[in-house]
């Protein structure tokens, strides 16, 4: 894995240890995390076209990021929206 992405993994691990990590996703092509009290998501990706980019923006769920150079889909989260408590029968 690229050291540029590993740096984000270390940041996410530190936030997790401090209880401040809201979401984390990682592969050999991207790393993304969201802090508990922050609306914005931090994303770093390496596109197959070779473009590298870091994004810090508000993303709507399910999160997805396209390469700004070639418009290829780089990352799409598999997170589901939280459901409320089950209704009592």
State how beta strands 73-76 and 64-66 pair: antiparallel
State how beta strands 30-35 and 40-46 pair: antiparallel
Rounded CA gap, 11 and 75, in Å?
A: 19
Residue 84 has pLDDT above 50, yes or no: no
Rounded CA gap, 62 and 4, in Å?
A: 24
Q: What is the pLDDT of residues 26-71, one digit of tens each?
A: 888 999 999 998 889 999 999 999 999 999 999 887 888 999 999 9
Of 27, 31, 28, 30, nearest to 11 by C-alpha is 31
Domain borders along the chain are 3-76
């Amino acid at each position: 894995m690229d050291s540029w992405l590993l740096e984000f993994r270390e940041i996410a691990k530190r936030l997790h240890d401090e209880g401040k990590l809201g979401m984390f996703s990682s592969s050999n092509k991207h790393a993304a995390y969201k802090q508990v009290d922050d609306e914005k998501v931090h994303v770093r990706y390496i596109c197959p076209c070779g473009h590298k980019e870091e994004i810090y923006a508000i993303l709507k769920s399910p999160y997805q990021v396209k390469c700004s150079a070639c418009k290829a889909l780089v990352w799409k989260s598999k997170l589901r929206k939280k459901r409320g408590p089950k209704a009592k029968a």
